[in-house]
Amino acid sequence: MTRTTQVGFDPARLARLDKHFGRYVDDGRLPGWQLAITAGDDIVHESTYGWRDREAARPVEPDTIWRIASMTKPITSVAAMTLWEEGAFELTDPISTWLPAFEDVRVYACGVDRSMVTVPAQEPIRVWHLLSHTSGLTAGFLRTSVVDGLYRDAGYEFGAPAGHVLADCVDDWARLPLLFQPGTAWGYGVSTDVLGRLIEIWSGQTLDVALASRVFEPLQMKDTGFFCDAARRDRLAALYQADEQGLAARIPAGDVVQDRPPAVLSGGGGLMSTMHDYVRFTRMLVGAGELEGTRLLSPRTVQLMASNHVGGDLASLSTGGFAETTLRGVGFGLGFAVLDEPLKLHTPSSRGEFYWGGIYSTSFFVDPVDDISVVFMTQLMPSSFHPIRSQLRQLVYSAIA
């Protein structure tokens, strides 16, 4: 299904997107996908192709539900900044003000096991460190350092130990050494999950209730949440993984669906959503914090979030992990990657574009210069296997009239 209108784009060139990514399905690299492009207040291109469940021959539909994984992080960050606008915290506040377990954190220096050496943190983890991934917290699934091995040993790889709630997880992470001194590098990890716990404290609500009241309900994101109940189960896309040939192979574990609120509410990766819901979120960002008369954030706050806070690019600051590009010219703001120097990434994007994606190959970007946003949904892990995101930019910008 494709619906296209002409608002600053060449329809024939937009059709190239469908043809290009259609080949990903036809040759087996993806099971199916969904795409939307907005310009200003309008959805100018919307298309679906392939299967939400290939084995059951169920096609992708406009209301298909997707696991958005780390595309949860920008939503959690926006919710936090609504509280910032109310004066609940300052960005420079130490997080130990509310989470005492982080008062005396230590930083990994060298060694393994009994020979491991840690040193005191030279400055506290501050709220802006969580939003910008410069806290020194990492994640067990990365497998790039001694420290992420400690996360796995503690029961944190893609999940959490049985019986834990978010507050327990945060206390456990505080007892583990940081990967680097706060504010000195950029590292992917559980920073946004810790931010989710702070949202609970600041708002006096559980994270699911806080996100619903501060983001989902104002933006009318009716199908976004931490679980998929029985009434919506048939709409949820199946999960796939790239095999050695790069073909999509179904993951049986993906058939186990969270059908009730989970014990650990992950602000870093726990949400499910639809294309139409997430487009409402990106349209709010394109609208500088406003959607259809509802203002979620001030324009100055969105501008602050979409500015580079890390003092350089991720190519030099990142501690490693997975990425589809070299990250040259890319900085990081408060919840989003920020493109500072497009030519270093060899992309036609505008300077100031901000974006993020999820491990299941979902992605979005917002271009405040050209007033557009793009959302792409599919369910293939890892997201680094195919150059979907760079090709998406290439074809979208090539279609601008």
Judged against a pLDDT cut of 70, whether residue 4 lies above it is answered with: no
Count other Cβ atoms within 10 Å, centred on residue 157. 15
In three-state secondary structure terms, 242 is strand
Q: Which residues contact 316 (CB under 8 A, 6 or more apart)?
A: none
For 159, the enclosing helix (H) or strand (E) is none
Specify whether the CB–CB gap between 304 and 90 falls below 8 A: no
Least confident segment among 23-37, 39-53, 324-338, 370-384: 324-338
User: Rounded to 5 degrees, what are φ and ψ at 212?
Assistant: -65, -45
Please state the φ and ψ torsions of residue 345, each to the nearest 5 degrees. -100, 0
- Distance (Å, rounded) from C-alpha 173 to C-alpha 154? 9
Taking only the tens place, the pLDDT of each residue in 62-71 is: 999 999 999 9
Instruction: Please say if the pLDDT value at position 367 is more than 90.
Output: yes
In terms of Cα–Cα distance, which of 20, 42, 13, 40 is closest to 390?
Answer: 20
Average pLDDT over the chain, rounded to whole? 94
Summarize pLDDT for 127-139 with one digit per residue, the tens: 999 999 999 999 9
CA–CA separation, 209 and 228 (whole Å) = 16
Q: Which domains does the chain have, with CATH numbers?
A: 61-80+206-395 (3.40.710.10), 89-191 (no CATH)
How sure is the predictor about 8, in pLDDT bands with cuts at 50, 70 and 90?
A: confident
Q: Give pLDDT, residue 5.
A: 45
SS3 assignment, position 12: helix
pLDDT in tens, 302-317: 999 999 999 999 999 9
pLDDT for the residue numbered 298: 98
CA 110, 111, 117, 123 dihedral sign is positive
Distances (CA, A) of 183 to 103, 129, 267, 309, 323: 16, 6, 21, 10, 21
pTM score above 0.75: yes
- Assign 6 a pLDDT band (cuts: 50, 70, 90): very low
> pLDDT confidence of 7, banded at 50, 70, 90?
low
Question: Does 276 have pLDDT greater than 60?
Answer: yes
The set of residues, in sequence order, having a beta carbon less than 8 Å from that of 257 and lying 6+ positions away, is 228, 233, 236
No. of helices (H) and no. of strands (E), the chain: 12, 18
The predicted structure's pLDDT at residue 49: 98
What pLDDT, on the 0 to 100 scale, is given for residue 323?
Answer: 64
% the chain with pLDDT above 90: 86
- 116 token code pair: 């491991």
**Residue among 202, 258, 205 nearest 232 (CA):** 258
- CA dist 319 and 306 (Å) reads 22
The residue-averaged pLDDT of 77-102 equals: 98
Are the CB atoms for 266 and 197 separated by under 8 Å? no
Calculate what percentage of the chain has a pLDDT beyond 70: 97
Residue 102 has pLDDT above 70, yes or no: yes
Give the pLDDT of residue 103.
96
In the predicted model, is pLDDT for residue 201 greater than 90?
Answer: yes
Q: Do residues 152 and 172 touch, judged by C-beta distance below 8 A?
A: no
Q: What is the pLDDT of residue 105?
A: 96
pLDDT higher than threshold 70 for residue 335: yes
pLDDT for residue 322: 61
Average pLDDT over residues 53-80: 97
| CA separation for the pair 268, 255 (Å, rounded) | 21
Handedness of CA 147, 150, 151, 156 (dihedral sign): positive
User: Are the C-beta atoms of residues 334 and 345 closer than 8 Å to each other?
Assistant: no
Sorting pLDDT into bands at 50, 70 and 90, what band is 258?
confident
Question: In this model, does residue 115 exceed pLDDT 60?
Answer: yes
CB 156 within 8 A of CB 164: no
pLDDT of residue 254: 84
Q: Which whole number is the average pLDDT over 242-270?
A: 92
Q: How does DSSP classify residue 360?
A: T
Structure confidence at residue 114 (pLDDT): 80
Is the pLDDT assigned to residue 342 strictly greater than 50?
A: yes
